[in-house]
Chains A and B, each alone.
Chain A
Amino acid sequence: MTKVHDNRAWWLVLPVFLLVAFSAVLPMMTVVNYSVQDIFDASTRVFVGADWYRQILHDPRLHDSLLRQFIFSGCVLLIEIPLGIAVALTMPTRGRWASLCLIVMAIPLLIPWNVVGTIWQIFGRADIGLLGYSLRELGVDYNYASNTGDAWVTVLVMDVWHWTSLVALLCYSGLRAIPDAYYQAARIDRASSWAVFRYIQLPKLKSVLLIAVMLRFMDSFMIYTEPFVLTGGGPGNATTFLSQTLTKMAVGQFDLGPAAAFSLIYFLIILLVSWLFYTAMTHADQK
């Protein structure tokens, strides 16, 4: 008996295919198209091959903001991941306090990004902001608009304030999923609380931490709104990250060709780093 294949079922995939085509593939191909041409106006365009890529890869502006971006994302991960785990560990496990904590933790996540920027912009001002004013009264010379170090600290603290909750909530749910038997067994084995964390909690949190690291890396690597509202990329270019450089190039100077090449390189970097994180974390201690 021969098997009958009814290939008409493939038509059912069509809506998804169309959706992906219009939402991802076509815009992406448009960018690819721009990145290999020099466009003067709607009818005048010249094919330039890899010229824009070459130019972008040697552009010191890109180098500087890429370096700043990596430092920023690195700091974000180094602060938010351990802090998030620590917060999750100290949160109460049940009762009214647990619900209250969850709500308080969720609030920063619900605030629109430009509002977060505005909040901190005002908060840090020395004349009307609580933080800036208090610091000035305490004799600290703090000014995020003119001092590079202060600007960096403010942007970082703002991101930590905004996003540590996400890591904490993910870890909290991960911790709740560990059966009691593990803790009981650890007590019977006389494990110290550090050993409980190191050998039970941390290994069990691995999969949520993978998600947390990936999300925080991607989001922080693409950060735009908050520093744009808070510092506008300044002082000078001190807090101008990749996406802001890109926006200046594409929208400010209307250099569509280089900007398209920039976007693709940007995209590939995110893809590559995420892949590295993923591989490193899933292949660690597999024997």
Chain B
Amino acid sequence: MAEIRLQNLAHSYSPQPRQDADYAIREMDHVWEQGGAYALLGPSGCGKSTLLNIISGLLSPSEGKVLFDTREVNQLTPEQRNIAQVFQFPVVYDTMTVYENLAFPLRNQGVAQARITSKVHEIAEVLDLHPLLQRKARNLTADEKQKVSMGRGLVRDDVSAILFDEPLTVIDPHLKWKLRRKLKQIHEQFNITMIYVTHDQLEASTFADKIAVMHGGQIVQFGTPRELFERPEHTFVGFFVGSPGMNLIEVRAEEGGVGFGTLHLPLTKGLAAKLPELADKRLQIGIRPEFVQVTDEPGTGGMATEVVRVEDLGTYKILTLRLQGHLLKARLPEDQPVPRGEAWVGFPSQWLMLYADDRLVEERR
């Protein structure tokens, strides 16, 4: 049980890193609190597995410190850090039974036989592995094997944290949901810090209380699933979280707002007041497809668009619209009539975000 703190942490696989691109992890500070359920979300190659391996101790960071509570653990191996890790492909000891697999970490620590038996049965109960205890591990299905490898982490009393490295990749879709529920349940029951690496936002938001979104070797936002959705702090979060991602349009600063093409978009006073400071930065506005208001008549302040494509996804429709040469996605509820040919859109000001060099511009209060 520990709080995990990353201090000025950076990692490069090359011996003499010169520029940012040489770093797999760019300098960061981050705290994973004791007992939290966290997800580390990002596309492949963003450095999330590197970060996970640094936390577990499989990899030693080239710069900065990893602290467990207040103890520096940089030089400690995973076993000395008491980390348990579940890998992408289920790792089980083929020739052992499920029982022996679960007992293995305890036997290696020299735990008394009676204690091993009770602990293994307790964990098997939690993971629904009881009927399989005497089966050879090699004959299990992928999801059962993955449960066994989780179980090996859970039987130990002393684990500081359990790390998951895309553990559901090889699991059948209909079982993924069950396993995620199981994980959540285990988390609530055992109060262990859990960090879950994934590139699937649905997995991340069903499992985690807070999600760290990684991009280019950095954590660009750390927040609840709701925060990531409603207030992306980085254009990457807007684009990566949500389906389809946020609409981003490059704009120029104008008096009292921003403009693109022949259009002028007024901003709130607070935001407009910050525009002069951002003169030499790249400005973008972002709005989620869910928040774009679509009507089939001009109304007041509606912007004229051309309907390019309609995709019916069953419970809702995705509209692709062309606005001043920019393609825009809008999500339409099932009961709303689909405009043909032309449509008018509005961007409600509370959902309109302004980004300068990809970072969210906060309103001046």
Residues of the A chain whose Cβ atoms lie less than 8 Å from the Cβ of B88 = 181
A residues 189-212 touching B (CB-CB < 8 Å): 189-192, 195, 199-200, 203-204
Contact partner, B104, options A179, A191, A204, Cβ 8 Å: A191
B139 at the interface (CB under 8 A from A): yes
CB pair A189–B87 under 8 Å, yes or no, is no
The reply to whether B149 and A203 contact each other, CB–CB distance below 8 Å, is: no
A287 contacts chain B at the CB level, 8 A cutoff:
yes
Judged by a CB distance under 8 angstroms, whether A187 is at the interface is yes
B186 at the binding interface (Cβ < 8 Å): no
Min CB distance B96 to A, Å, is 6
Q: Mark A165-182, 1 if CB is under 8 A from B, else 0.
A: 000000000000001011
Check if A24 is an interface residue, CB within 8 A of chain B.
no
Query: Chain A at the B interface: mostly helix, strand, loop or mixed?
Result: helix
With contact pairs A181-B87, A181-B89, A287-B136 given, residues A188 and B78 touching in the complex (Cβ less than 8 Å)? yes
- Known interface pairs A181-B88, A287-B135; A188-B83 also in contact (CB < 8 Å): yes
* Distance A260 CA – B75 CA, assembled complex (angstroms): 71
List of B residues within 8 angstroms of A184 by Cβ:
58, 78, 85, 87
Determine how close the nearest CB of chain A comes to the CB of B193; give it in whole angstroms: 15
Chain B neighbourhood of A59, CB < 8 A: none
CB of B94 within 8 A of chain A?
A: yes
* Alpha-carbon distance between A188 and B109 when the two chains are bound, in angstroms: 11
Asked if B89 contacts A190 (CB within 8 A), the reply is no
A189 and B152 contact, Cβ closer than 8 Å, known pairs A181-B91, A195-B108, A287-B139:
yes
Cβ–Cβ < 8 Å partners of A199 in chain B: 93-96, 104
Chain B 70-110 near chain A by CB (<8 Å), digits 1 or 0:
00000001110001110111010111100000001100110
Nearest CB of B to A85, in Å: 16
**A203 with B85: in contact, given A187-B77, A188-B78, A189-B105 (CB under 8 Å)?**
no
Do B96 and A185 have beta carbons less than 8 Å apart?
no
B84: A residues at CB distance < 8 A? 188
* Contact in complex: B87, A187 (CB < 8 Å): no
Which of A190, A191, A203 has the most CB atoms of chain B within a 10 A radius of its CB? A190
Contact A190 B109 (CB under 8 A): yes
Q: Are A190 and B108 in contact (CB under 8 A)?
A: yes
Interchain nearest-CB distance for B158 vs A (Å): 11
Interchain CB contact under 8 A, B95 and A203: yes
A9–B21 CA distance with the chains assembled, in angstroms: 60
Judge whether A192 and B108 touch: CB under 8 Å. yes
B134-160 interface bits toward A, Cβ cutoff 8 Å, 1 = contact, 0 = none: 011011000000000100110000000
Give A184 to B139 CA distance when docked, in angstroms. Answer: 22
Measured CA separation A195–B95 after assembly (Å): 12
Decide if A188 touches B79 in the complex (CB within 8 Å).
Answer: yes
Task: Determine whether the beta carbon of B87 is less than 8 Å from that of A185.
Answer: yes
Partner of B85, one of A185, A195, A200: A185
Question: A187 and B135: CB pair below 8 A?
Answer: no
Indicate whether A189 sits within 8 Å of B104 (C-beta atoms), given known contacts A184-B78, A199-B96, A287-B136: yes
Does residue A285 face the partner (Cβ distance < 8 Å to B)?
A: yes
Q: Which residue of chain B has the shortest Cβ distance to A181 in the bound complex? A: B87
Cα distance A184–B59 in the bound complex, in angstroms? 11
Q: Which residues of B contact A187 (CB under 8 A)?
A: 77-79
Cα distance A61–B89 when bound, in Å?
Answer: 57
Q: How far is the CA of A185 from the CA of B88 in the complex (A)?
A: 12
Of chain A, the residue at the smallest CB distance from B56 is: A188
Assess whether B94 is in contact with A203, with CB atoms less than 8 Å apart.
Answer: yes
Most chain A C-beta atoms within 10 Å of own C-beta, residue among B87, B93, B136:
B93
Q: Which residues from A are CB-within-8-Å of B95?
A: 199, 203, 285
**For residue A191, which residue of chain B has the nearest CB?**
B108
**How far does the alpha carbon of A286 sit from the alpha carbon of B136 in the complex, in Å?**
8
Determine the residue in chain B with the shortest Cβ distance to A184: B58
| B153 contacts across to A, CB distance below 8 A | 188
Complex: chain A residue closest to B96, CB-CB = A199
Instruction: Enumerate A38-90 residues with CB–CB distance to B below 8 Å.
Output: none
Whole-angstrom distance between the alpha carbons of A68 and B37 in the complex? 67
Alpha-carbon distance A189/B84, docked complex (angstroms): 8
Instruction: Chain A residues near B138: list those with CB within 8 A.
Output: 203
Nearest to B156 among chain A residues (CB) is A189
CB distance from B113 to the nearest CB of A (A): 17
Closest to A185 in B: B91
A200 touches B93 (CB 8 A): yes
Which residue on chain B has the smallest CB distance to residue A190?
B108
- Closest-by-CB residue of A relative to B108 is A190
A133 to B303, CA, bound (A): 101
* Residue of chain A at shortest CB distance from B86: A185
Roughly how many angstroms separate A188 CA and B160 CA in the complex, as a whole number? 12
* Interface set of B (CB-CB < 8 Å, partner A): 56, 58, 77-79, 83-85, 87-89, 91, 93-96, 104-105, 108-109, 135-136, 138-139, 149, 152-153
What are 7 residue pairs bridging A and B, where the CB atoms are less than 8 Å apart in the complex?
Answer: A184-B87, A185-B149, A191-B104, A192-B108, A199-B96, A203-B94, A287-B136
List residues of A whose CB falls within 8 A of some B CB.
179, 181-182, 184-185, 187-192, 195, 199-200, 203-204, 285-287
If A181-B87, A192-B108 are given as contacts, then 6 extra A-B residue pairs at C-beta distance below 8 Å, sorted by A number, are A181-B91, A185-B149, A185-B152, A188-B84, A191-B104, A203-B94
Sorted from nearest, which 9 A-B pairs have the closest CB atoms?
A181-B87, A185-B91, A190-B108, A189-B105, A199-B93, A203-B94, A203-B95, A188-B78, A190-B79
